[in-house]
Structure 1
Amino acid sequence: MGSGKVTSTSELFDFQGKHVTVAGLGVSGVPAAKVLHARGATVTVVNDGDDARAREQAAELEALGITVRLGDGATLPEGTELIVTAPGWKPDKPLFLAAEKAGVPVWGDVELAWRLRGPEAAPWLAVTGTNGKTTTVQMLASILKAAGLRTAAVGNIGVSLLDAVLGEERYDVLAVELSSYQLHWAPSLRAHSAAVLNLAPDHLDWHGSMEAYAHDKGRIYEGNRVACVYNVEDKATEDLVREADVEEGCRAIGFTLGAPAPSQFGVVDGILVDRAFVENRQKNAQELAEVSDVNPSAPHNIANALAAAALARAFGVPAQAVRDGLRSFRPDAHRIAHVADIDSVAYVDDSKATNTHAAEASLASYESIVWIAGGLAKGATFDELVAKSAKRLRGAVLIGADRALIRDALARHAPEVPVVDLDRTDTEAMLQAVREAKRLAQPGDTVLLAPACASMDMFTNYNQRGDAFAAAVRELGA
C-alpha cells in the first residue's frame, strides 16, 4: 500500500451562487437538483430523454425555479462551474468531454453526499466488487445493528446517501454499497475501511477496458484509515490494495474460504475466524460464527460474510455481534432463493446472477443442475463459465436475446449436455422454460435460474424475471 498521508475530510464547497448542471433526472438527479437549489446554487438539469416520466419530473423541478432541458444531454450549459451526474452516464459523453475541455469538475451523487457531510458525520464502511455487494452491505448493517450501533445500508441500495447525510437521523456508522460507476465520479471519497469483494469483467462497455474498470473499483481504498479488505482468492483485489494511497497505519486484511494466515479472516473446521483484529495474531484466532449461521451457506455467501465481518471488526465490533448479526440476516429475494421442492427436485431462483461471475458462483453451489440461462449478454463471453461448470450440468434451458452465445459455448465445452433452445422472448417463455427443465431433471437435481445475463430483453428487471420463475414453479406444483 502507498504510504502517502491523505486527509480524511474533503474541501468544503460553497454552492451559493454557483452555476451547477445536473446530468440526468431519475433517482439520483432529482434529489441532487433539489439539494443544490436549496443551498443557493443556480441549477440547470439536462436529460437525454423526453418521455412522460421525464416531463413529470421536470415540472416538479421547474416549480421550484430549477431550469430543465429535456432531450438535450449533450450540450454544456453556458456558465457551468460544476456538473453533478447520475452514475450511469458514460464518461465519454459529449457533455463530459466539453466539461473537461472547459476545466469544469464532474461529481457523482456519492461525491456530492461526501462533500455535504457535517463535521460530526458518521464514518463510512464501503463495499464494492463485481458480485456480492448488496448482500455484504446488508450483512454488515445487520452486524453493526447487533452491536447496538445506529446504522443503515446506503448507497447503491436502501437509503439514498444524500438522505443519510442530510436527514435528521444521526448514525454512528454507515454501511455503503458503491458501484464502479459511482466510484468513477467520487474523487474525494475517503472511507474508514473498505472492501473489494472480487473483480471479473463487467460493464466494460461503460468503462472501456478491464483496466479502467479495476481502477475505478480500486478508488474505494484511497485514503482508508483502518483497513483495506481484499479477497485472498482474487489476486486482482490485493493488487488494488498495494496500489492504494492510504493513511498511515491502515492495514491490508484478507478473507479466504480456507484457513487464514495472520491478518486474515477465514474458515477453520466450519468456524468463521478472525486472525486480524486479535492480540498476538501470529498465534491466536477469534471465533466469530459457524458456517451454519450464514444464510444461505453457499461458498460465495460465506465469503461475503467474512468480508462483512472484517469491516465490522475493523470498526471495533465484538465477536458476538458478528455471530448475532449473521444469524438475524435474511437475504433479499432472487439471490439463491429456494422456491420449492417438486418430485424431489429443488427449484432455486438466482435471477440476480446477471453476469458470468455471479452465475459461476451460483452453479458452484450445487452438484447436479438443470440450468436456465440467457438474456442480454452485455458483451460477455461464456466459454470459461461453461467449461468450469460443465461437470455439474444435467441439462440447460436457454431463453432471451443472446442465448445463442451460451448455446455455442455449451456445444464447445459440454457437448454431451442436452440443451433446450427456446426461440422466444415473451414473458410467458419462463413457464415453458420451467416445464422443459422439469422434463430434464431427475430426483436430487436442482433446477437453477442463474441467467448470467441481464434481464431487460424480456423483463423490466431481474426482480420481475425471478418472480416469473417463482410463479412458473408454483404453477408446476399446483
Structure 2
Amino acid sequence: MDAPLVAAAPRDPAFAARLDGAPVCVAGLGVSGPPVVRALLRGGAEVTVVEARDDDAARRAAEPLRAAGARVTLGGADLPPGTGLVVTSPGWRPDAPLLVAAADAGVEVIGDVELAWRLSPADQTWLAITGTNGKTTTVRMLEAMLRADGRDAVAVGNVGTPVIEAALPGPDGRYPAVLAVELSSFQLHWSSSLRPHAATVLNVAADHLDWHGGLEPYAAAKGRVYAPGTVRVVNTADPWSARLAAEHGDPAAPLVGFTLGTPRPGEVGVVEDLLVDRAFTADPERTAEELASLADVRPPAPHNVANALAAAALARSVGAAPAAVRAGLAAFAPEPHRIAHVAQVAGVDYVDDSKATNPHAAAASLTAYPSVVWIAGGLLKGADVAELVRAAAPRLRGAVLLGRDRDRLRDALAEHAPGVPVVDVADTGPDAMAGVVAAAAGLARPGDTVLLAPAAASMDMFPDYKARGDRFAAAVGALGGD
C-alpha cells in the first residue's frame, strides 16, 4: 500500500480514517475525476469509477486508473452495489440517476472540493472566490499578491490545477501554505463542510440556470462559500453578493466591502486614482492605506478594478502587506481572451473578450468602450439579453450576430436599439469568423472598437471560447494591422 494519504494531520481525521477499505464510487472521468481517484487510492479506498461515455478519450483516461488499482465502468450510469460514498464530478447534475440512487440509499454524495477540504492539512489556509464572472482573473491576482508577500501560495480550481492535487501533501510531505481557490456553483453545491478563512461572491447573474433549476438555487449555491467563521468579502455594488453574505454567512465574522467609489470604514475602494484600504488598517475610522494605483490594474476596465479590490481584500485578510498588493498586480499577467487588445486596423481597435460567455460578462466588457461594433451570439443557455441590449444601446455603432441563438439577440436589438445596424451571419462553418470580422470592419469607423463579447457559450460553432477567440484574432490579422 502507498504512503499515508497525508503526512500532516488532515482537517477531518475521522473521515480520512474511514476511507481505508471503504467502497467509493467516483462519478465521471472529467478533469477532476482522475486526481480524485488517485487521492482515494492513496487513502486505501476501494474505488469504482462510473463514466457514461465509452469513447476513445474515456478509454485513454481509464487505462492508468485501472493500472493504479481502480475499477472503471464505461458506458454505464448505475450505482455500484455496496457503495458507501460517492464523489461526483462537478458537471453531474443532481438529478443524474446514479446520484438520485445514492441519495435514495442514504449514501453521501460530495464533490472534489469537499473531498479535498476534508483531507487537506488542518493548517492549510483557503481563500475562496466564486461569482458568475471574474473568478479566474481574481484568483490569479490573489495568487500574485500572496507570492509577492512571500507566501507559499497556489491558485487552484478551474484555473488549471485541480484542488485535490494542490491541497494534499506530495510524496515529500510538502504542501502549499495558502490556496487561492476558484469555485464554481457546481462545486459549491456538492460542498457541505468547506470553511475558507475568507471568501467572496464577486457577482451573481443568470447563468447555468438549466443545471440549478433557477436563479435562486444558483445564487444559493454560490452563497455556501460564506461559511461559519469565514471572513465575508462582498461587492457593495452587487445586491446578490451582500444578500448572500447576510443570509449564508456568519454574522459574527468580519464583513469587508469592496467598491469602485470612496471606501467607508470596513471597505477597500478607490480614491482618485488610488486603490485604498479602510478595512485592515489599525484605525479604519480615521486612516487609509494606499494599496496600488489604477495604472497598476491591467486592463483598467471598471469590472477588472473590482476584481483587483476583491483580491486585495482577501490578501489583506491574511496579513499581506500593502506593497504586496501593488507588486502582485504588477506581476499579474491577464489571461488570454479577456478584454485582450488584438490589433488596430485603419484606426479601429479590435478586442477579444471571448471569455464573456454570458450577458453579465458582456455587459461589463461593453461599458469599457464608448463606441462599439459588437460581435455577439452563440448558446445563450436560457439567459435573457433584453437588459444587456437596452443598457448597451447608446454605445453601439453596429452589431454582427453569429451562432445558434442569434435570433434572440436580433429581436432584442430590434426592440431596444432599433437604429443600430445589424449584420446577421448565418454561416456556422470553420471560416465563419472571417465573414463576421469582415462585416464588423465594414460597420466600424476610426475611433470605434470592434468587440468580441458574445454573451453566449461557444460550443455550437467552436470547441470552446479559446478557439472562438483564436479564430477572431486570426481573422483580424488577415485584415492587416497598424
Q: Same fold (TM over 0.5)?
A: yes
AA partner of residue 21 (structure 1): C
Aligned residue for 1:215? Answer: 220
Aligned residue for 2:396? Answer: 393
Aligned residue for 2:61? Answer: 57
Q: Does 1:47 align with 2:51?
A: yes
Instruction: Pick the aligned partner of 2:414 from 411, 414, 420.
Output: 411
The Cα of 1:198 is off from its aligned counterpart by: 0.3
Instruction: Pick the aligned partner of 1:129 from 128, 131, 153.
Output: 131
The aligned runs of 1:139-154 (5 Å cut-off) are 139-154=141-156
> Structure 2 CA distance, aligned partners of 1:158 and 1:315?
24
> Structure 2 CA distance, aligned partners of 1:247 and 1:107?
26
The question of whether the paired residues in 1 share the 8 Å contact of 2:13 and 2:119 is answered with no
Q: Secondary structure at the match of 2:224?
A: helix
The Cα of 1:245 is off from its aligned counterpart by: 4.4
> Structure 1 CA distance, aligned partners of 2:296 and 2:35?
38
The Cα of 1:247 is off from its aligned counterpart by: 8.3
Instruction: Pick the aligned partner of 2:381 from 378, 382, 392.
Output: 378
Aligned residue for 2:19? Answer: 15
AA partner of residue 473 (structure 2): A
AA partner of residue 127 (structure 2): L
TM-aligned CA distance change 1:477 to 1:238, over 3 Å: same
> Structure 2 CA distance, aligned partners of 1:9 and 1:118?
6
The Cα of 1:390 is off from its aligned counterpart by: 0.3
> Structure 1 CA distance, aligned partners of 2:29 and 2:220?
27
The Cα of 1:172 is off from its aligned counterpart by: 2.3
1:215-270 Cα offsets, whole Å, 9 max, x none, are 11011011244x2101101111111111234384x211111111111111111111
The aligned runs of 1:245-324 (5 Å cut-off) are 245-246=249-250, 248=252, 250-324=253-327
Q: Secondary structure at the match of 1:26?
A: coil
> Structure 2 CA distance, aligned partners of 1:142 and 1:63?
38
The question of whether the paired residues in 2 share the 8 Å contact of 1:9 and 1:190 is answered with no
The Cα of 1:115 is off from its aligned counterpart by: 1.2
The question of whether the paired residues in 1 share the 8 Å contact of 2:198 and 2:233 is answered with yes
Aligned residue for 1:352? Answer: 355
AA partner of residue 42 (structure 1): E
The question of whether the paired residues in 1 share the 8 Å contact of 2:354 and 2:468 is answered with yes
> Structure 1 CA distance, aligned partners of 2:310 and 2:300?
14
Q: Does 1:199 align with 2:242?
A: no
The Cα of 1:158 is off from its aligned counterpart by: 2.8
Q: Which runs of 4+ in 1 moved over 6 A?
A: none
TM-score, normalised with respect to structure 1: 0.95
The question of whether the paired residues in 2 share the 8 Å contact of 1:386 and 1:409 is answered with yes
Aligned residue for 1:90? Answer: 93
> Structure 1 CA distance, aligned partners of 2:118 and 2:421?
55
The Cα of 1:10 is off from its aligned counterpart by: 4.1
AA partner of residue 67 (structure 1): R
AA partner of residue 477 (structure 2): R
- In structure 2, stretches of 5+ residues that fail to align are 1-9
Q: Does 1:160 align with 2:162?
A: yes
Instruction: Pick the aligned partner of 2:177 from 165, 168, 172.
Output: 172
The Cα of 1:62 is off from its aligned counterpart by: 2.1
1:195-227 Cα offsets, whole Å, 9 max, x none, are 1100101000000111111111011011244x2
The Cα of 1:67 is off from its aligned counterpart by: 1.4
The question of whether the paired residues in 1 share the 8 Å contact of 2:11 and 2:120 is answered with no
1:35-65 Cα offsets, whole Å, 9 max, x none, are 2122211111111111111122223222233
Q: Secondary structure at the match of 2:133?
A: coil
The question of whether the paired residues in 2 share the 8 Å contact of 1:194 and 1:224 is answered with no
Instruction: Pick the aligned partner of 1:472 from 464, 467, 475.
Output: 475
Q: Secondary structure at the match of 1:466?
A: helix
Instruction: Pick the aligned partner of 1:402 from 394, 399, 405.
Output: 405
Sequence identity percentage: 57
> Structure 1 CA distance, aligned partners of 2:176 and 2:457?
35
Q: May I ask how many residue pairs the two structures share in their alignment?
A: 467
Aligned residue for 2:240? Answer: 236
TM-score, normalised with respect to structure 2: 0.95
> Structure 2 CA distance, aligned partners of 1:324 and 1:233?
26
Q: Secondary structure at the match of 1:287?
A: strand
> Structure 2 CA distance, aligned partners of 1:329 and 1:265?
20
The Cα of 1:164 is off from its aligned counterpart by: 0.7
> Structure 1 CA distance, aligned partners of 2:220 and 2:381?
20
Please, which moves more after superposition, 397-406 or 27-36?
27-36
Instruction: Pick the aligned partner of 1:186 from 191, 194, 211.
Output: 191
Aligned residue for 1:5? Answer: none
AA partner of residue 379 (structure 2): L
> Structure 2 CA distance, aligned partners of 1:11 and 1:132?
34
